[in-house]
Amino acid sequence: ITKFNFSGYHKPDEKTLQGLKDVANKLRILSIKATCASNSGHPTSCCSMAELMSVLFFNTMRYKVEDPRNQCNDRFVLSKGHAAPILYAVWAEAGYLKESDLLNLRKIDSDLEGHPTPKLQFVDMATGSLGQGLGAACGMAYTGKHFDKSSYRVYCMLGDGECAEGSVWEAMAFASHYKLDNLVAVIDVNRLGQSEPTSLQHDMETYRKRCEAFGWNTYVVDGHDVEELCKAFWQAQQVKGKPTCIVAKTLKGKGLKDIEDNLNWHGKAIPKDRAEALLKELEALIQVPNKTLCPELPKDDAAPADLSPILLPSPPAYKKGEKVAPRRAYGVALTRLGQSNQRVVALDGDTKNSTFAETFKKAFPDRYIECFIAEQNMVGVAMGCATRDRTVAFASTFSAFLSRAYDQIRMGAVSQTNVNLVGSHCGVSIGEDGPSQMALEDLAMFRAIPTCTVFYPSDAVSTERAVELSANTKGMCFIRTSRPESEVIYSPDEKFEVGVAKVVRQSDKDHVTVIGAGVTLHEALAAADMLASEGKNIRVIDPFTIKPLDASTILASARATGGRIITVEDHYKEGGLGEAVLSAVGEEPGIVVTRIAVTSVPRSGKPQELMDLYGISAKHIANAVPGLVMNC
């Protein structure tokens, strides 16, 4: 169906072609045996892509079998992660896994989980939430082409049902915009989804038109013809200036009599009584059972990553009392960090002159990736960039819009990603733009991610240190930056650590401990001044990181102030600073936490007016103090 330019193409010899066919059937057999052993999994989703996997791993891709995470290897992302058994089978066939291990699929003590995770050396990104693989693959391909300037190529396998996800098309647009000719997407068009046929079924021409319309070099192929696949993948390697999409027409459950191309076989192990006969039929197709094929080695043209700490070249250059917006300090901080280390890269989704990622872009245009208004893809790309430690990636947008990428963020924890996400424009203090632009749920969102460190810096000096710490902290990091100009309260030599709070105001007769962060720390300090003039002292704490939270400093302060804590935050009450403090002190006797937070959907107005209207400004804090003292 597809017209190729064959000049320069060497057709594999008959022995190789037969070997590839044999491998495909071996992969089917191993996928069936593994899913039978676990009595669960997706054998039919594996069978449709057996020839694709065979050709990719034994004819097209270049990699070191014994070192699957080598920086020079071609990358493979299984976006349709439920087909994990065939990914495990291919690594067994290559010799990295033992065939007998495949029978431990999905067992509690095996890393061969239901869907792939980077617990396995040959997996870079966890998949299984459909629609996410291609964005990560784009990040890997962008990194290979522009940062590593290496010859490794990136392959991503998608399901046809999966292609209904919008995030797939965000990634399609990104890849062609950046001319990622080192990227190949494969769509396994097996016609069927989970509960019914896909919307397009085998309408290959519509797939072709869509891929071409998104700027991809597109080949429609018979996904079960190993010779055609060898040609198509070879041809893709020759194409310059465009990513290639291989749209492969396949049958779900291919090779399994009475199951192939039939509904109702998604996500089911083959019943034991039928498996035996089906396995025999597949075995009969194999001409040479011995392992005869081995992959080509990659070019050694990417250096191992330098993992030494990434430090600011000099202390922050701010003076106490100066007014600087933390979001602006973010741009300065990242630029300074970028001077120290080549691996630091930045991404943003068309908000760079608001988040101040633009400052970095101006200094290092070659290390900035504009992702346009596609936040899911931006987060996926950033995670892809960060795989194999090739980059230290910082992706920014308005914090509110990171919520669009929450599924990518959630999967980032499974992927053990070290990506850094920066959300500006948090809370009502952004002012006039109104509630659609105000992040009031972001702390809750990021606190719930197990691997995430949540920074909430309150001035320019602490913002700079938050950025530096993020670059060196394992796991995901989130930095919440504020829009208003805020007084610099720390001196340039102040030391910051993850999980260590600062007591910024104290006396030996404090009535209450007030914990604020970002704009509300400054409101708390203003309240302290107001109360001091009435002869009442309060202790004020800047938590610096909301997760982990410095429970011991908070507890010690609370004990010194009659057990009384007030939290105040520019965030909804649920899941924010107040709840973080509550959970830190919840099991301690004699502590009472009063929480001040935004409790309804806000409106437009001036920042100070809004902080007053929604009850998080200095006067509300001050008002909360005497009542609390009188009650006890």
Ligand X SMILES: Cc1ncc(C[n+]2csc(CCOP(=O)(O)OP(=O)(O)O)c2C)c(N)n1
Q: Work out which of 117, 335, 354, 458 binds ligand NAG, going by CB under 6 A.
A: 354
Q: For ligand NAG, which residue of 1, 288, 297, 532 counts as binding (CB under 6 A)?
A: 288
Cβ atoms 564, 582 nearer than 8 A: no
Cβ-contact 464, 484 below 8 angstroms: no
Do 538 and 528 meet the contact criterion of CB atoms below 8 Å apart? yes
- Using rule CB under 6 A, residue 297 touches ligand NAG: no
| Paired tokens of 348 | 């943003």
373: contact with ligand NAG by CB under 6 A: no
Select from 41, 139, 193, 602 the one that contacts ligand X (CB under 6 A): 193
Asked if residues 247 and 220 have their Cβ atoms less than 8 Å apart, the reply is yes
Q: Which does 249 bind (CB under 5 to 8 A by kind): ligand X, ligand NAG, none?
A: none
Q: Which residues contact 609 (CB under 8 A, 6 or more apart)?
A: none
Residue 12 DSSP one-character state: P
Residue 244 makes contact with ligand X by CB under 6 A:
no
Residue 353 binds ligand NAG (CB under 6 A): yes
Residue 493 CB, shortest distance to ligand X, in Å, is 48
Site for ligand X contains 343 (CB under 6 A):
no
Burial (Cβ within 10 Å: 0-12, 13-18, ≥19) of residue 173: middle
Q: Give CA–CA dist 295/157, Å, rounded.
A: 19
Please, which residue, 214 or 401, has the CB nearer to ligand NAG?
401
Q: Which does 188 bind (CB under 5 to 8 A by kind): ligand NAG, ligand X, none?
A: ligand X
Q: Does 294 bind ligand NAG (CB under 6 A)?
A: no
- Strands (E) located in 73-182: 75-78, 154-159
Nearest distance, CB of residue 232 and ligand X, angstroms: 19
Residue 533 within binding range of ligand NAG, rule CB under 6 A: no
> Contact between 287 and ligand NAG (CB under 6 A)?
no
290 contacts ligand NAG (rule: CB under 6 A): yes
CA–CA distance, 576 with 327 (Å, rounded to integer): 20
Per annotation, catalytic residue among 113, 375, 468, 579 = 375
Q: Sketch the per residue contact string, 304 through 343, with ligand NAG: x for CB under 6 A, - otherwise.
A: ----------------------------------------
Residues in the chain: 632
Q: Which is nearer to ligand X, 266 or 483 (CB)?
A: 266
Q: Does 190 bind ligand X (CB under 6 A)?
A: yes
Reference 153, options 142, 143, 141; nearest CA is: 141
User: How many C-beta atoms surround the C-beta of residue 206 within 10 A?
Assistant: 13
Element (H, E) at 513: strand 510-516
What is the phi/psi pair of residue 447, to 5°? -60, -30
Among 2, 70, 110, 194, binds ligand X (CB under 6 A): 194
Is 159 a binder of ligand X (CB under 6 A)? yes
Work out what residue 290 binds among ligand NAG, ligand X, none; the CB cut-off runs from 5 to 8 Å by kind. Answer: ligand NAG
Q: Which does 288 bind (CB under 5 to 8 A by kind): ligand X, ligand NAG, none?
A: ligand NAG
CA distance 608 to 377: 35
116 touches ligand X by CB under 6 A: no
Site string for ligand X, 283-322 (x = CB under 6 A): ----------------------------------------
Tell whether residue 182 is a contact of ligand X (CB under 6 A): no
- What phi, psi does 533 have (nearest 5°)? -70, -20
Q: How many CB atoms lie within 10 A of CB 438?
A: 29
Tokens, residue 383: 């995670």
Please report how close the Cβ of residue 353 comes to ligand NAG at its closest, in angstroms.
4
The 3-state DSSP composition of the chain as helix, strand, coil percent (nearest 5) reads 40, 15, 40
Is 375 marked active-site? Answer: yes
Nearest to 556 by CA among 588, 597, 578, 517: 588
Per CB under 6 A, does 167 bind ligand X? no
Which one, 23 or 77, has the nearer CB to ligand NAG? 23
In the bound complex, what is the minimum distance in angstroms from residue 50's beta carbon to ligand X?
12
Q: Which residues contact 393 (CB under 8 A, 6 or more apart)?
A: 139, 345, 346, 347, 382, 383, 385, 386, 419, 420
Summarize as ranges the residues that interact with ligand NAG (CB under 6 A).
288, 290, 353-354
Catalytic residues: 375
Summarize as ranges the residues that interact with ligand X (CB under 6 A).
42, 45, 48, 80, 82, 128-131, 159-162, 188, 190, 192-194, 198, 252, 266
